[in-house]
Structure 1
Amino acid sequence: MEGYHKKRPGINKSSLIIGRQPVIEAIQSGRPIDKILFQRNVSGDSIGTIRQLAKEHNIPIQQVPPEKLQSFTKANHQGCIAIAGLVQYMDLQQVIDHVLGNGETPLFVILDGITDVRNIGAIARTAVCCGAQAIIIPDKGVGALNEEAMKSSAGALEKINICRVNSLMKAVDTLHLNGIKVYATEMTADKFVHEIDYTEPGCIIMGSEDHGVFPGLLKICDEKIKIPMAGNFESFNVSVATGIVLYEAMKKRMSM
């Protein structure tokens, strides 16, 4: 997995990939792409090619009005602009194979619906400090891994594998097929975080502070866990909650 986390330039005008063929070549070359913007009702064979490549590489596509593309550039964009990413996204199965091949016990984090990029950056920093090897995010409904996320992570987003998937449900299936247990944080759970055996391969699902973990994910996880709280308050900040769970996992693993 050498070379997976190279430093990327910040998102600015030079990070725009303008035009159909340049976008195709960028995807085929393996350049990380955060998203592709299509002008509404755009069509053509090359557009079909871009759609197929985006599907294969889990790159989100967004339909936008012409004015949106014009706000990015006055060049002939042909109804298509891609925004280059700061992070090299990894294939989940390859990351699992790499971690197991190194003789390590997987400890992953799934982020479900977390849109605040500062929280994502803070979670990445905590994950690296606690020995987690990967963060799994959906291709839609999560905050962009932009300059602010990078700054909040203090560089951690370049030191941990980021797996972007088109379905968190399928990602959980992949984890289960590889013998990795999945734990979802849920305020009404019966088990506390310290009651889990983190010495086994595991993955923690962290949901948004507003809506929690998606109900479909709660149904297919192995255990639901909660963090004990002394006061009668709504909940922990999600990055703080992630830190509590990951620290508990690290503590259990260090005592083996």
Structure 2
Amino acid sequence: MFQSKKNIIAGRNPVTEALKSGQTIDKVLLFKNASGDAIIEIKQLAREQNVPVQYVPQEKLNSLTNVQHQGVVAFKSSVVYQDLQQVIDWVNSQGEVPLFVMLDGVTDVRNIGAIARSAVCCGAQALVIPDKGVGALNEEAMKSSAGALEKILICRVNSLLKALDTLHLNGIKVFTSEMKATKRLHQLNWSEPACVVMGNEEKGVQPYMTKAADEHFTIPMKGGFDSFNVSVATGIILYEAMRQRTAE
């Protein structure tokens, strides 16, 4: 996956200082056999800040930078992550009805960028993403979003299921699309506080996430093709939500 060299921090001390200074970090890569007090501190700081840590072979780190990395490389994020509860509180304080998008296993950064663009165009206030198993919000994602990733609030959580609990506790309903659902997209009430969960194109939304959702729906289609691209499907869903909200 493409990463700009200017977004890379290499070396134990630089990565430690970046984490301590509050820089927003997408993820930390550690040589799988790395050890020492500095490594322990980096892992602790990453855990406290909800930054994913991935263990990789030396060759992977060598391919990313010419700098002496000492078994540690971090990627600076192009966005600033927000706390989900604080975002909910802020949206409510603005007198707006929450409309969020949660990404479950969406790894293609071009899809993520396109989803963010549709979200901003249709009035969604936030993207909710997991700390692992999602495409990095790097320069390619920013380019695909046409700048939308800088205009939407982004919440990174360590558990999507716990995030669903937070949404439910705040009166936000959770919707997922299913090919076999009996309700159609337009039959749901999108004028109420809502979050739609969009899944991986191959596997869809994880079963335990589907089970925890309040409503399931299908997007009507003609022709014998399997399904819409995830970013196209998200755009259709969010447009319907905007249509219902503006019609009122």
TM range (shorter): over 0.9
In the alignment, structure 1 residue 80 sits paired with structure 2 residue 39:
no
- Aligned to 2:102, the other structure's residue is in SS state strand
Partner of 1:62: 54
In the alignment, structure 1 residue 254 sits paired with structure 2 residue 241:
no
Aligned counterpart in structure 2 of residue 221 of structure 1, from 208, 213, 219: 213
Q: Aligned runs of 1:89-108 on 2, under 5 Å? A: 89-108=81-100
- Aligned to 1:98, the other structure's residue is in SS state helix
The one-character-per-residue Cα deviations of 1:156-187 (angstroms, maximum 9, x if unpaired) are 01100111111111111111111110001111
Alpha-carbon distance in 2 for matches of 1:32, 1:64: 21
Q: What is the number of residues matched between the two proteins? A: 247
Deviation at 1:243, TM superposition (A): 0.8
Deviation at 1:74, TM superposition (A): 3.8
Q: TM-score, normalised by structure 1?
A: 0.92
Alpha-carbon distance in 1 for matches of 2:39, 2:93: 39
8 A contact 1:114–1:143 mirrored in 2: yes
RMSD between superposed Cα atoms in Å: 1.5
8 A contact 1:111–1:135 mirrored in 2: yes
Deviation at 1:199, TM superposition (A): 1.4
- Aligned to 2:113, the other structure's residue is in SS state helix
Letter in 2 for 1:95: V
Alpha-carbon distance in 2 for matches of 1:144, 1:22: 21
Partner of 1:189: 181
Deviation at 1:71, TM superposition (A): 2.2
Deviation at 1:11, TM superposition (A): 4.4
Alpha-carbon distance in 1 for matches of 2:69, 2:230: 39
Q: TM-score, normalised by structure 2?
A: 0.95
Alpha-carbon distance in 1 for matches of 2:233, 2:66: 45
The one-character-per-residue Cα deviations of 1:71-130 (angstroms, maximum 9, x if unpaired) are 233433222111111111111111111111111110000111111111111110000000
Identity of aligned residues (%): 64
8 A contact 1:106–1:180 mirrored in 2: yes
Unaligned runs of 5+ in 2: none
Unaligned runs of 5+ in 1: 1-9
Alpha-carbon distance in 2 for matches of 1:140, 1:241: 23
Deviation at 1:216, TM superposition (A): 0.6
Alpha-carbon distance in 1 for matches of 2:37, 2:107: 34
8 A contact 1:11–1:84 mirrored in 2: no
